[in-house]
Amino acid sequence: MTELITIERHIIEQQKKYPSATGEFSQLLADVTFAAKLVRREVIRAGLVDILGAHGSMNVQGEEVKKLDVFANEKFIQAIGHHGRFAVMGSEECEGIITPPEGKTSGKYVLLFDPLDGSSNIDANVGVGTIFSIYKRISDPTSGPGSLQDCLQKGVQQVAAGYVIYGSSVMLVYTTGQGVHGFTLDPTIGEFLLSHENITTPKRGKIYSMNEGYYRYFFDGVKKYIKYLQQEDKATNRPYSARYVGSLVADFHRNLLYGGIFIYPRTKKAPNGKLRLLYEANPLAFVCEQAGGRATDGYRRILDIEPEELHQRTPLFIGSEEDVKIAEEFEQGLRELEHDTELIPKMLAEVKKAESLLVK
């Protein structure tokens, strides 16, 4: 009979092992869990209660906002913002920082979150997700609410991070720096139960995830890397399979479990990539590294990047360690394509054709 361990119990067990974690910290993760249940309730009903469709407003990213984005954002703020355990929050849906109500400003933690990532896929019932990142406050708790500086900490300072994926089942995956653990929601009891303890990602995979529709805007290194993955070489499981949902949490979670690499690179149209450092790249990088993977911007470790603004973008190379390292070598121009076995016959045929023209 497998033991049923709820996420709340798991957090308390973790806390016993690491006395530095306070009860308050465990409560924070429980709060995130509660908010995720509220979001999930609406996500699974989306097709039924006509909350789909454009909300009409445009978010700070200049993208069309779906009602569920707004709902998810409001639920997180409502479920977590009122108790004051967080001194300040930052959301993908809000241009500025979010501070707790008057008299509740002495919280010790900071929460950065993307309430509903991949929301453009909602109408098509494709997996979407919530991503969260938790830091200790660095400003003086007696000085009032937290500040923007509290939010602009390097990813390496995170005390916890994770994501919720609203897919075929609802899973919450988190780390506090002691490994990566996955919980699956049992809707009959409304509890997240431990289903994937100590997730580790394969050192090398055979899946690559990126939007090749932008191929013409990629720089040469990434173009060569794609060709490298498409070459045939049994020893390195090439050609890889292309898998791209267009929903970061869904693509990341699949690659975390199966192995592989997700790339949203810098392009000639988006020199800093598209994804956000604080509430997308950093939390997923923390989870990825804790599972034995690697996460960089093609040059620097994501967790070491010094943030300068709340909605700062970054290129993202994340997944199996060996895959990310090879992709970096191409991105940095340190590696060239090996002999392409198909290329040589083609070149010989061209030479023969040219010779025959010369002879005539």
Residue type, 250: A
Query: In this chain, which of 179, 239, 246, 292 binds ligand P6P, going by CB under 6 A?
Result: 246
Neighbour tally for 347: CB within 10 Å = 11
Of 48-56, 114-122, 181-189, 319-327, which segment contacts ligand P6P by CB under 6 A?
114-122
Does the protein bind ligand P6P through residue 292 (CB under 6 A)? no
Q: What CA–CA distance (Å, rounded) separates 226 from 330?
A: 10
Q: Which of residues 198-217 bind ligand P6P (CB under 6 A)?
A: 211
H or E element in which residue 171 lies: strand 170-175
Q: What distance separates the 2 farthest-apart alpha carbons in the chain?
A: 92
Neighbour tally for 243: CB within 10 Å = 16
271 cis-preceded (ω within 30 degrees of 0): no
Residue 159 near residue 135 (C-beta atoms within 8 A): yes
Report the SS3 class of residue 189.
Answer: coil
Find the shortest distance in angstroms from Cβ 315 to ligand P6P. Answer: 13
Find the shortest distance in angstroms from Cβ 191 to ligand P6P. Answer: 27
Nearer to ligand P6P, 212 or 342 (CB): 212
Does the protein bind ligand P6P through residue 120 (CB under 6 A)? yes
Q: Which of residues 250-289 bind ligand P6P (CB under 6 A)?
A: 274
Nearer to ligand P6P, 31 or 117 (CB): 117
CA angle 151, 108, 129 (to 5 degrees): 55
Find the shortest distance in angstroms from Cβ 202 to ligand P6P. Answer: 21
Phi, psi of 321 (to 5 degrees): -55, -50
Find the shortest distance in angstroms from Cβ 244 to ligand P6P. Answer: 7
Sign of CA dihedral 220, 221, 224, 225: negative
Nearer to ligand P6P, 91 or 247 (CB): 247
Find the shortest distance in angstroms from Cβ 210 to ligand P6P. Answer: 8
Query: In this chain, which of 11, 39, 248, 291 binds ligand P6P, going by CB under 6 A?
Result: 248
Does the protein bind ligand P6P through residue 181 (CB under 6 A)? no
Of 112-120, 140-148, 157-165, 337-345, which segment contacts ligand P6P by CB under 6 A?
112-120
Of 117-125, 183-191, 290-298, 347-355, which segment contacts ligand P6P by CB under 6 A?
117-125
Residue type, 287: V
Nearer to ligand P6P, 109 or 252 (CB): 252
Find the shortest distance in angstroms from Cβ 278 to ligand P6P. Answer: 14
Find the shortest distance in angstroms from Cβ 107 to ligand P6P. Answer: 28
Residue 61 near residue 55 (C-beta atoms within 8 A): no
How would you label 196-220 residue by residue, b for 16+ Cβ within 10 Å and e otherwise?
eeebebbebbbbbbbeeebeeebbe
With CA atoms as reference, report the closest residue to 109 among 73, 158, 142: 158
Nearer to ligand P6P, 121 or 195 (CB): 121
Does the protein bind ligand P6P through residue 177 (CB under 6 A)? no
Contacts of 318 (CB under 8 A, 6+ apart): 252, 261, 262, 263, 281, 284, 285, 288, 293, 294, 295, 296, 302, 324
By CB neighbour count within 10 A (0-12 exposed, 13-18 middle, 19+ buried), where does 139 fall?
middle
Of 13-21, 199-207, 231-239, 240-248, which segment contacts ligand P6P by CB under 6 A?
240-248
Does the protein bind ligand P6P through residue 118 (CB under 6 A)? yes
Nearer to ligand P6P, 118 or 155 (CB): 118
Nearer to ligand P6P, 120 or 195 (CB): 120
Binding residues vs ligand P6P (CB under 6 A): 117-118, 120, 211, 246-248, 274
